[in-house]
Amino acid sequence: MCALPFLIQDVRGLPWLRDVTCFDGTSVYGYGGPVCSLQGADPALAMEFGNSLRATLREQGIISLFCRLHPLIESEWLLTDVGQVVRQGTTVSIPLDTASTVDEFAAMMSTSHRYDVRRLRSAGVVVEEDVQFSMLAEFIAAYHQTMRRNQASQWYFFDVQYFESLRAALGDRLRLFVARSAAGEFMSATLTFICGDIMQYHLAGTPDQFRRDSASKLILAELAVWGAQRGFRHFHLGGGLGASDEDGLFRFKQGFSSRTHAFRVFRLVVLQKVYDDLCELRRQALGMIRDHPAQPYFPLYRAPAAAN
């Protein structure tokens, strides 16, 4: 059995396609891609899956499909003969089958991360799971403050409904961990997904007044212990902003582990003529003669003007 979850989007949200009724597909925020019950590649199954995928997308009138592939799930073989698989960057994960205590995990970290983890523990900072999500409002406020400090685009300012929908959809596969000072103050928190043998770091937030304390480092160290004790094998931290493997976020994550993975995306044009027509509408709206031949954005008709 194979499955490929994705979201269907209306292109009318784009200013140059406001009067066009068309749809395309994309994976959810984070890491998606196909999953398969079969262990190992099977060319015959890949061909059957690819033919079924194309046929289904055509029936649904989907112009193109963009999908982020999960770096820890071997699924690329299902897609290589269907569309284009492109490497976008690098991600980091902590192996959970090699250590079981905070000190053992700290030994895997960079010198600065290890120092901060030990300093926070000495100061009496405690990390606990918020099983009832009683601190969700504080987390959301801290997350938004973090996004403002990082000058993130408005897209990343998820509202309360987003977090409530995650809880409703995922149940106990969504976990919230909170760091408190010795005086009980909320210092930082992290949302994490769990599924199979993988823990997936999702979002984190730290209030402005505690931004220099680095409590998120202790949270991730304690999360690694929590996962190891429950039999998880991987704690996937992800990569940098926009799949970068050079920015501060990537370096922060790499401070926890030297184990890295290739991050790839899948691109498929289903209705070529419609795709080309939408790209032409974009070019005309932006007053362009032609697109750059090496334009990396996909689908191109969704590329912002600044991407030219």
Mean pLDDT along residues 280-285: 90
Mean pLDDT of the chain, nearest integer: 91
pLDDT of 290 reads 67
Distances 177 to 33, 87, 94, 139, 228 between C-alpha atoms, Å? 27, 32, 17, 10, 15
List the chain domain ranges: 2-90+263-307, 97-232
Q: Quick one: pLDDT band at residue 242, thresholds 50, 70, 90? A: low
Count CA atoms closer than 13 A to 85's CA, side-chain side: 17
Indicate if the pLDDT at residue 29 is higher than 70: yes
Q: What is the pLDDT of residues 151-180, one digit of tens each?
A: 888 888 999 999 999 999 999 999 999 999
Distances 131 to 135, 141, 247 between C-alpha atoms, Å? 10, 19, 33
Indicate if the pLDDT at residue 291 is higher than 80: no
pLDDT of 292 reads 59
Indicate if the pLDDT at residue 235 is higher than 80: yes
pLDDT of 67 reads 95
Q: What percent of the chain has pLDDT over 70?
A: 95
Least confident of 31-45, 239-253, 254-268: 239-253
CATH number given to 97-232: 3.40.630.30
